[in-house]
């Protein structure tokens, strides 16, 4: 619960600070000061109402009202990120300039306010439209040692982070399914986060499961669950539910069944006649049963014949050294979203050995997809929603 308090205190400090800075900037305009004073209660009401929207989405009991505030709160926080980022940065620079020039009017703060507000709106609209344009990214990978000839190849479509939520639309999922099927994959592997920590917020879940059940691949669709495939409360993108209360629900399991997904919870399957096995891991952060328990790398991969191509599918990209040591030939993952929204794409590499794309780590190729969906704000800025095709020569 300490974490919840920190998140809320941090949120109140940021909202208050940005509101005060906005008020200061608006006050520097040319309008009559009398009018500015008269309209202050109205502006305070707007600041409080906007700040309250994500709180209502997080803390109201499950209902249509909660889901409305969840959806609009996500969009508002996306806008707020860019508005506050630009306002704070430009204001800091302006403060230095005013100090040097001994400028007492400080009118440039008013200009900064209008530019930040308008630019954040343009970025939000662009990010929301761009997030719906799923692109196909292709990687060619070989697991054959130098001097040896490959015996076979496999076309994998790697999907992750669908993040079906209050901000999703079935038509986007339907279009994604069409694009995946057009790739004609041998097998489809989904690296978790089908949901965004809530099943109830999904309008018409049957439309999503109907669309996903139309995914086509000779060997089917294998899926691992992610840290958001549990029912929990989120506030501003932070989980405020402790692990022991975060469970995958019966509705979620039924949804996976309706989609025709073959779920892999620390399980290994063989693709008939292809000399390929897929080992799917439980999520190491939230296993779905109120714990973080999952098989270690040795338990998972023990007993797999070394001549078989061993593909490890997991949600969070990690533990490469241990996986390679225990026989993994390639690791496929998601979770990072490639940062999703600028400047996130420059931040995630600090926390992940492979934050995005293909990288050889511990002697094996690792692939991390940016994911087909979005988390929190339904926006992508500086990154793409993507379907990842991995052609493996082995
Ligand atoms: Fe995710």
Q: 187-206 burial, b if ≥16 CB within 10 A, otherwise e?
A: bbbbbbbbbbbbbebbbebe
Give the Å distance between the CA of 166 and the centre of ligand 1: 15
Q: What is the mean pLDDT of residues 215-234?
A: 95
Give the Å distance between the CA of 213 and the centre of ligand 1: 21
Q: Is the pLDDT of residue 38 over 50?
A: yes
Give the Å distance between the CA of 336 and the centre of ligand 1: 7
Give the Å distance between the CA of 385 and the centre of ligand 1: 12
Whether 389 and 135 have beta carbons less than 8 Å apart is answered as: no
Whether 58 and 234 have beta carbons less than 8 Å apart is answered as: yes
Q: What is the mean pLDDT of residues 101-121?
A: 90
Other Cβ atoms closer than 10 A to 67:
20
Tell which wins on pLDDT, 237 or 75.
Answer: 75
**Percentage above 70 pLDDT, the chain:** 99
Q: Is the pLDDT of residue 27 over 90?
A: no
Q: What is the pLDDT of residues 40-55, one digit of tens each?
A: 999 999 999 999 999 9
pLDDT of residue 59: 87
Give the Å distance between the CA of 114 and the centre of ligand 1: 33
Question: Would you place residue 238 in the very low, low, confident or very high pLDDT band (cuts 50, 70, 90)?
Answer: confident
CA distance 327 to 364: 10
Give the Å distance between the CA of 283 and the centre of ligand 1: 12
Q: Is the pLDDT of residue 295 over 70?
A: yes
Q: What is the mean pLDDT of residues 123-139?
A: 97
Q: Name the token pair of 223.
A: 């899926």
Give the Å distance between the CA of 339 and the centre of ligand 1: 10
Tell which wins on pLDDT, 203 or 120.
Answer: 120
Q: Is the pLDDT of residue 19 over 70?
A: yes
SS3 of 281-312 = CCCCCCCCECCCCCCCHHHHHCCCCCCCEEEE
CA distance 343 to 89: 14
Give the Å distance between the CA of 207 and the centre of ligand 1: 21
Whether 278 and 268 have beta carbons less than 8 Å apart is answered as: yes
Q: What is the mean pLDDT of residues 231-253?
A: 88
pTM above 0.85, yes or no: yes
Give the Å distance between the CA of 309 and the centre of ligand 1: 27
Q: Is the pLDDT of residue 366 over 70?
A: yes
Question: Would you place residue 355 in the very low, low, confident or very high pLDDT band (cuts 50, 70, 90)?
Answer: very high
SS3 of 379-390 = CCECCCCEEEEE
Place of tokens 């339907």: 174
Q: What is the mean pLDDT of residues 14-31?
A: 88
Question: Which domains, ranges and CATH numbers included, belong to the chain?
Answer: 2-130 (no CATH), 134-393 (3.60.21.10)
Q: Name the token pair of 371.
A: 């994911």
pLDDT of residue 30: 65
**Bridge-partner residues for 366, per DSSP?**
331, 359
Give the Å distance between the CA of 194 and the centre of ligand 1: 8
Give the Å distance between the CA of 82 and the centre of ligand 1: 21
Whether 383 and 340 have beta carbons less than 8 Å apart is answered as: yes
Tell which wins on pLDDT, 66 or 106.
Answer: 66
Give the Å distance between the CA of 150 and the centre of ligand 1: 34
Residues less than 5 Å from ion ligand 1, measured at CB: 161, 193
Give the Å distance between the CA of 229 and the centre of ligand 1: 9
Whether 282 and 263 have beta carbons less than 8 Å apart is answered as: no
Q: What is the pLDDT of residues 143-185, one digit of tens each?
A: 998 888 999 999 999 999 999 999 999 999 999 999 999 999 9
Identify the weakest region by mean pLDDT among 80-84, 147-151, 280-284.
147-151
Question: Would you place residue 1 in the very low, low, confident or very high pLDDT band (cuts 50, 70, 90)?
Answer: very low
Residues 6 or more apart in contact with residue 155 via CB below 8 angstroms = 183, 184, 185, 186, 187, 389, 390, 391, 392
CA distance 265 to 256: 13
Cα-Cα end-to-end distance for the chain: 49
Taking CA atoms, 295 is separated from 38, 45, 199, 292, in Å, by 64, 52, 27, 10
């Amino acid at each position: 619960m300490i974490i919840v308090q920190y998140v809320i205190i941090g949120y109140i400090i940021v909202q208050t600070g940005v509101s005060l800075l906005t008020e200061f900037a608006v006050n520097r305009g040319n309008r009559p000061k009398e009018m500015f004073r008269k309209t202050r209660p109205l502006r305070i009401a707007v600041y409080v109402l906007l700040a309250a929207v994500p709180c209502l989405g997080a803390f109201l009991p499950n209902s249509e009202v909660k889901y409305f505030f969840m959806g609009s709160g996500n969009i508002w926080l996306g806008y707020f990120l860019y508005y506050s980022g630009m306002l704070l940065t430009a204001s800091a620079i302006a403060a230095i300039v005013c100090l040097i020039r001994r400028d007492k009017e400080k009118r440039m703060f008013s200009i900064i306010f209008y530019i930040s507000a308008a630019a954040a709106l343009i970025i939000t609209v662009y990010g929301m439209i761009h997030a719906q344009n799923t692109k196909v990214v292709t990687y060619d990978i070989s697991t054959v040692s130098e001097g040896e000839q490959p015996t076979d190849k496999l076309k994998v479509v790697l999907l992750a982070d669908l993040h079906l939520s209050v901000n999703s639309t079935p038509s986007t999922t339907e279009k994604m399914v069409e694009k995946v099927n057009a790739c004609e994959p041998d097998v489809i592997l989904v690296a978790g986060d089908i949901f965004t920590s809530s099943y109830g917020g999904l309008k018409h879940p049957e439309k999503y499961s109907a669309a996903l059940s139309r995914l086509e691949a000779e060997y089917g669709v294998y899926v691992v669950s992610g840290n958001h495939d549990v029912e929990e409360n989120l506030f501003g993108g932070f989980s405020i539910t402790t692990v022991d209360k975060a469970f995958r629900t019966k509705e979620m399991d039924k949804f996976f069944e309706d989609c025709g997904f073959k779920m892999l919870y620390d399980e290994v399957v063989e693709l008939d006649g292809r000399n390929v096995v897929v080992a799917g891991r439980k999520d190491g952060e939230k296993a779905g049963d109120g714990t973080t328990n999952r098989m270690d790398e040795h338990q998972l991969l023990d007993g797999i014949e070394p001549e078989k191509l061993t593909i490890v599918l997991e949600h969070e990209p990690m533990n490469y050294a241990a996986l390679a040591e225990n026989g993994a030939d390639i690791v496929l993952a998601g979770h990072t979203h490639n940062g999703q929204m600028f400047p996130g794409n420059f931040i995630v590499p600090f926390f992940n050995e492979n934050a995005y794309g293909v990288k050889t780590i511990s002697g094996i190729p690792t692939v991390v997809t940016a994911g087909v969906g979005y988390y929190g704000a339904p926006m992508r800025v500086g990154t793409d929603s993507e379907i990842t095709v991995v052609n493996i020569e082995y």
